[in-house]
Structure 1
Amino acid sequence: MELVEATRDDVATLAEYWYDLASAMEQYDELNEVAYDGPEPAEAGIEGLLADEDTTVYLLTVDDGEGGYLVVRSGEHPSRVHSEYVEIVDLYVAPEYRDSGHGSDALDAVQRIARERGADYVEVSCEWGNDGARRFYRDNGFEPKQVTYARRVD
């Protein structure tokens, strides 16, 4: 598995991967319901990510093919001793490439990216009910730090 920085030429592929990931998250909470039927409307959002100077979008390549995507964002909590961080915004490995170590390889790559950027830590979040994702991150050395709560506005 290798990370290749995405370009505007990759927008359609990235939107498809995003749509697959977003659709899979619908089962965990009604707030995850995707607003449209297909990846095309997401292309503008992907283009925005590519233009954001604090965000980097990567394609995961496996055996000269595309096997998923990764979005990382650099951030800072200036009031903290350990202030610099890299956040994993999205990590998606296509189903045919799962359970082969590619997701763990992507996390190792994020660790290297964070080190190169001078970050103090890497953070990621996932749906509370997604036991598989929670186990995956724990198995890869991540520890629970905080819980995010959401409340629908009626």
Structure 2
Amino acid sequence: MSRDHIESGLGWRWTEERVRAAMSDDDTNVVVVLDRATGKIVQGFGIMSYAERHAHLLLLAVRPQQRRKGVASAIVSWLDLTARVAGVERILVECRRSNDAARNFYLDHGFHERNIRAGMYRQLEDGIQFAKWLRAPTA
């Protein structure tokens, strides 16, 4: 899903090995949404890493036929709640500058555009970094 829809045209960074490594990392959550009928086919997933004060949504993907049905919103809501329980101050995420659907999704879910990261995607495309504050920053 990541290779075909998120990393299209960029080369494949989120390999199966990298996803498996994230799944076994104590500072990372991986959320998977399965098909209700079969309980098997992955409909979407999110990967978020945690540091002391912030979390980083590393990857969020939903099957094209499941988009605009609340799958991504459910994943982000669960990760948001998990970050709040962990005491995280903010969540960071990036997307391609040209990905208007993702940009609007993050804005609709309480994120704000923080900065432009020139050439972030293999020097082929700029990225937009978003932040969502969950609580006031500590000194």
Question: Which band: TM-score by shorter chain?
Answer: 0.7 to 0.9
Q: Aligned match of 2:49 in 73, 84, 88?
A: 73
Q: Aligned match of 1:125 in 80, 86, 94?
A: 94
For residue 92 of structure 1, what is the amino acid of its counterpart? A
TM-superposed deviation, 1:62? 4.4
TM-superposed deviation, 1:63? 2.0
Residues 99-126 of structure 1, C-alpha deviations (whole Å, 9 max, x = no match)? 1111112111111011111101111110
Moved beyond 4 Å, runs of 4+: none
- Total equivalences in the alignment: 118
CA RMSD of aligned residues (A): 2.2
Partner of residue 133, structure 2: none
Partner of residue 94, structure 1: 63
User: Secondary structure of the equivalent of 1:109?
Assistant: helix
TM-superposed deviation, 1:134? 0.6
TM-superposed deviation, 1:19? 2.5
Whole-angstrom distance in 2 between the partners of 1:110 and 1:56: 8
1:3-152 mapped onto 2 (5 Å cutoff): 17-24=1-8, 26=9, 32-34=10-12, 42-64=15-37, 65=39, 66-76=42-52, 84-150=53-119, 152=123
TM-score by length of 1: 0.67
Structure exhibiting the larger radius of gyration computed from Cα positions:
1
More helix by share: 1
User: Secondary structure of the equivalent of 1:150?
Assistant: strand
| Unaligned residue ranges in structure 1 (runs of 5+) | 1-16, 27-31, 77-83
User: Secondary structure of the equivalent of 2:115?
Assistant: coil
More strand by share: 2
For residue 20 of structure 2, what is the amino acid of its counterpart? E
TM-superposed deviation, 1:23? 4.1
TM-score by length of 2: 0.73
TM-superposed deviation, 1:22? 4.1
| Unaligned residue ranges in structure 2 (runs of 5+) | 124-139
Percent identity for Structure 1 against Structure 2: 25
